[in-house]
Amino acid sequence: PQGQTKKLRQPIVVVLGHVDHGKTSLLDKIRSTAIAAREAGGITQHIGASIVPSAVIEKISEPLKKIVPIKLAIPGLLFIDTPGHELFSNLRKRGGSIADFAILVIDVTKGLQDQTFEAIDLLKSRKVPFLIAANKIDRLPGWESNPDQPFVVSYQNQSRRAKEELERVIYGIIVTKFSELGFQTELYTKIKDFTKTVAIVPVSAKTGEGIPDLLAVLAGLTQQYLKNRLIFAEGPAKGSVLEVKEAEGLGTVIDTIIYDGIIRVGDIIVLNGKNGPIITNVRSLLMPAPLSDLRAKGTRFVNVSEVYAAAGVRIAAPDLENALAGSSIYVANSVEEANELSKTLQSEVKELIFKADKDGIIIKADTLGTLEALIEAFKRMNIPIRVADIGNISKSDVLEASLTAKKNRSLGVIIAFNVKILPEAEAELANSNVKVIQNNIIYHLIEEYENWSENLKR
Ligand code: GTP
Ligand code: MG
Ligand code: NA
């Protein structure tokens, strides 16, 4: 498969930034995909992973060859998309913790906002090197679009007014704010020492302007400064489960990001399951076609015998029916080691999946990440939680909720994020006074709950 024989692994590049500043759109432009347009509520609510091979990076940044000459030794870049919505700080942290490098996306029409600052704190505390993509330059007053052109080329074609508008944002806002935060930043074309100064690359995810520059700077920086980090690690794989799903002919499979080590067909893997840790053997490994998002529908896969980090990979194995999306996943060298690892894994879910013996709402979500975000949201509102769990709404969820509803109507509710109601639960619901609030947009769920409980008081 792509690049697996070369010496350096692909750097993991995490895309961070405030909600709607254009993270997913930027990746869409690079991959020629349209993920952002299909997201529920226009927001990202899960982590995404996609590989951009070196050949594509070289092709896109070709026009810049004279200015930023790079010979690519890395096989490509593994991009991790993260949600910007404030409730998903858990997913941003997760992304930040596996990042070799980050792109901090800032909307030039908005400047730094709450989750921009949160991302800067995260990058600072984890010591993750990053660059700033100053996005949406097409929306600067007076900006003339030069689709897909390098920023350096497009900039030369701009009026004095547009140039001044860009300078105002870059120096008046970005450079000033970052210096207050202890970072030296500068337009990438003016930087002499990239180890001391954070590069600002003006881009437009809409017109493609600046994308050549972004990729050239990114590839150059990661392979030049992270070389030692990028030597293939020979150890057993560590990863993260993004999604659990049914795949035709394969049964239940898991889509994962492998961020460290190697995973091979036949390896023992350990991950969290609904009824405790799962220890099983890899039956097959499937790599998504380059440039496709692992999570996207219609992604094509290729069977491989081994996968080196960093990669997004689909794993088929027995006993994955109860696997938990959002769990860590490890390759173990022996069954004893697998048992040891399963103890570490258990602590990961303990606070998240629970059934308390008190009156409270029921929360059902599709992944550990979204469950965590919802628990956090309802805790902030001081709403007690009886059950927090992953998966579809079951009959027992309805029975639990109806017990509560009899004592306290406003807590007799099931909050369901991106999950279905099982048929036997439907039947039970019909003769209960349990309220189900079902939505696949997190802030709508919370708003709907607030409205419903307010109405009860009237
Ligand atoms: P979250 O994942 O929800 O945090 O958002 P995001 O950062 O991924 O932003 P997204 O890609 O969803 O874009 C938000 C909106 O901005 C969409 O309507 C995009 O079409 C628009 N947008 C993104 N980049 C650009 C840009 O460069 N120019 C213009 N004009 N619009 C953009
Ligand atoms: Mg997004
Ligand atoms: Na968005």
Distance 56 CA to ligand 3 centre (A): 25
Q: Which residues are annotated as a binding site?
A: 17-24, 81-85, 135-138
Which protein residue's CA is at the shortest distance from atom 15 of ligand 1? 20
Q: What is the number of other CB atoms lying within 10 angstroms of the CB of residue 454?
A: 10
Residue 449: CB partners within 8 Å, gap ≥ 6? 361, 378, 383, 413, 415, 437
**In the prediction, which pLDDT does 458 show?**
81
**In the prediction, which pLDDT does 214 show?**
97
CA 28 – CA 14 distance, rounded (Å): 14
**In the prediction, which pLDDT does 171 show?**
98
Residues with C-beta less than 6 Å from any ligand 1 atom: 17, 19-25, 36, 42-44, 83-85, 135-136, 138-139, 204-206
Which residue out of 20, 91, 151 has the highest number of ligand 1 atoms within 8 Å of its CB and is therefore the one to mutate? 20
- In the block, residue with structure tokens 């660059």: 131
**In the prediction, which pLDDT does 70 show?**
74
Q: What is the number of other CB atoms lying within 10 angstroms of the CB of residue 302?
A: 12
Q: Please state, in angstroms and as integers, the Cα–Cα distance from residue 361 to each residue in 63, 353, 405, following that order.
A: 57, 14, 9
**In the prediction, which pLDDT does 1 show?**
43
CA 102 – CA 111 distance, rounded (Å): 18
Which protein residue's CA is at the shortest distance from atom 23 of ligand 1? 22
**In the prediction, which pLDDT does 2 show?**
47
**In the prediction, which pLDDT does 176 show?**
98
Which protein residue's CA is at the shortest distance from atom 26 of ligand 1? 136
Which residue out of 19, 25, 88 has the highest number of ligand 1 atoms within 8 Å of its CB and is therefore the one to mutate? 25
**In the prediction, which pLDDT does 297 show?**
79
Residues of the chain short of pLDDT 70, as ranges, are 1-6, 68-69
**In the prediction, which pLDDT does 25 show?**
97
**In the prediction, which pLDDT does 5 show?**
44
Helices and strands in the chain: count of H runs, count of E runs:
13, 22
Distance 115 CA to ligand 2 centre (A): 13
Q: Which residues are annotated as a binding site for GTP?
A: 17-24, 81-85, 135-138
Distance 458 CA to ligand 2 centre (A): 38
Distance 135 CA to ligand 3 centre (A): 13
Distance 112 CA to ligand 3 centre (A): 16
**In the prediction, which pLDDT does 292 show?**
84
